[in-house]
Amino acid sequence: MQHGHSKPMTGKTVVVTGATGGIGRATAHGLAMMGAHVIVIGRDPKRTDETAKEIRAAGSGKVDAFFADLSSQTQLRSLADELLTAFPRIDVLINNAGGYWNTRHTTADGLEHTFALNHLAPFLLTNLLLKRLQLSGPARVVTVSSNAQAMGRINFNDLQGEHAYSGARAYNQSKLANLLFTYELDRRLHGTDVTANALHPGMVSTGFGAEDPGRAQRLLVPILRPFMLTTAQGAATSIHIASAPDLAQVSGRFFAKRTPRRSSAASYDAATAAKLWNVSAEMTGLTPTG
C-alpha cells in the first residue's frame, strides 16, 4: 500500500469533463496518480465507468464517475446538482470537453453545438459550481482552449452560425470565448481564493473532431498524427495549472507548454468579455449574480 499523504494532490477533489478520451482522460489519469480524488465526467455511462475503473486500477486516489451530455443544459444542471450533493468540496474544475463539427448541428436546446459545448457548457458548469469552489479555496478553474483562439472572432450578430456556418469559424470563436470567459471570470474572482486560467494543450493525437471531420482534417490528420503529442504530453499543461504549487496565486493567464503566453489581442478586450458573459448568462438562464 502506498502512503497517499506523500502525493502532491492528496486531499484534493478534481472534476474533469470530457474524461473518457484524449486529453481529458490523460489529465484525469495523471492527477489521480498524484493522489487527487478524481471525478470523471463523460456522456456515455459505459465509457465513463470503464475510464474510472481503469484509472482506479492504475492505483492511486479515489475515482468517481458521473454522466452528462454537456451540450444539454438540463443534463448539465442535473450533473451540477449531483456534484454539489456528493462532494462537500471541489478544489479543481477542469473544463476540457470540447469538439469540432464541420457541419452545423443543434443541441437538445436548439443551440449550435460548438458554441453550446465548447463555450456555454464550461460557462454554466463553472458558474453552478463556483460557490462550492470558493468555499473550498484555494481552488482552481482550468479551461482547455486552443491556439485556434488566435484566429477567433466573436460574431455577436451570428453567434450560432445561423446565417453562415463554418466548422473552423465556429471552433475558433468558441476557443476565443474560452479565453474571454477565463479573463472575465478572473476579474470577477478578484479578491477570492479561486484562480481561473486557460491553456493550449499542443497538437495532440486524440479522437478530436472525428464525429464530423472536414475534408482537410480527413486528409491531414493521418499524415500529421505521427508528429502529434501523445495524450500524456497533451495533458501536461492542464495538470500543471491544476496542481503546481507556484501557480496557487496565478490567475487570468493563458498557458502553452506549461508556460504563460500572451493570447490574441481580441482575448484581452474586457468590453467584449463582459458582453459575452451577459449574453451567455441569458442563453443559459443563469441568475445574474452581479
Ligand X SMILES: NC(=O)c1ccc[n+]([C@@H]2O[C@H](COP(=O)([O-])OP(=O)(O)OC[C@H]3O[C@@H](n4cnc5c(N)ncnc54)[C@H](OP(=O)(O)O)[C@@H]3O)[C@@H](O)[C@H]2O)c1
CB of 199: closest distance to ligand X in angstroms?
9
Q: Which of residues 102-161 bind ligand X (CB under 6 A)?
A: 117, 144, 146
99 touching ligand X, by CB under 6 A = yes
Which burial class, exposed, middle or buried, applies to 249 when counting CB atoms under 10 A from its CB (0-12, 13-18, 19+)?
A: exposed
69 touching ligand X, by CB under 6 A = yes
Residue 167 phi, psi (nearest 5)? -55, -45
242 CB neighbour count, 10 Å cutoff: 26
96 touching ligand X, by CB under 6 A = yes
Strand-pair category, 63-67 with 92-95? unpaired
β-bridge partners, 63:
38
CB of 175: closest distance to ligand X in angstroms?
6
- Closest to ligand X by CB, 213 or 260: 213
23 touching ligand X, by CB under 6 A = yes
Q: Does the annotation mark 183 as catalytic? A: no
Beta strands (DSSP E) in the chain are: 13-17, 37-42, 63-67, 92-95, 139-144, 194-200, 254-256, 259-261
- Closest to ligand X by CB, 20 or 217: 20
Cell for 279?
449574453
35 touching ligand X, by CB under 6 A = no
Among 87, 123, 181, 208, binds ligand X (CB under 6 A): 208
24 touching ligand X, by CB under 6 A = yes
Cα distance between residue 184 and residue 206, in whole Å: 30
186 CB neighbour count, 10 Å cutoff: 19
| Number of residues engaging ligand X in binding (CB under 6 A) | 28
Asked whether the beta carbons of 211 and 101 are under 8 A apart, the reply is yes
Q: If you write DSSP's letter for every residue of 14-28 in order, what string do you get? A: EEEESTTSHHHHHHH
- Closest to ligand X by CB, 47 or 258: 47
List 100, 171, 183, 268, catalytic entry = 171
203 touching ligand X, by CB under 6 A = yes
End-to-end alpha-carbon separation of the chain, Å? 48
Choices 36-44, 179-187, 218-226, 253-261; region in contact with ligand X by CB under 6 A: 36-44
Cα distance between residue 115 and residue 134, in whole Å: 27
- Closest to ligand X by CB, 42 or 252: 42
204 touching ligand X, by CB under 6 A = yes
CB of 51: closest distance to ligand X in angstroms?
8
207 touching ligand X, by CB under 6 A = yes
- Closest to ligand X by CB, 46 or 131: 46
Please tell me what DSSP assigns to residue 7.
Answer: S
Nearest CA-CA partner of 5 in 31, 30, 34: 34
CB of 178: closest distance to ligand X in angstroms?
8
- Closest to ligand X by CB, 95 or 136: 95
201 touching ligand X, by CB under 6 A = yes
Can you give the binding site for ligand X, defined by CB under 6 A? 18-24, 42-44, 47, 69-71, 96-99, 117, 144, 146, 200-201, 203-204, 206-208
Active-site positions? 171
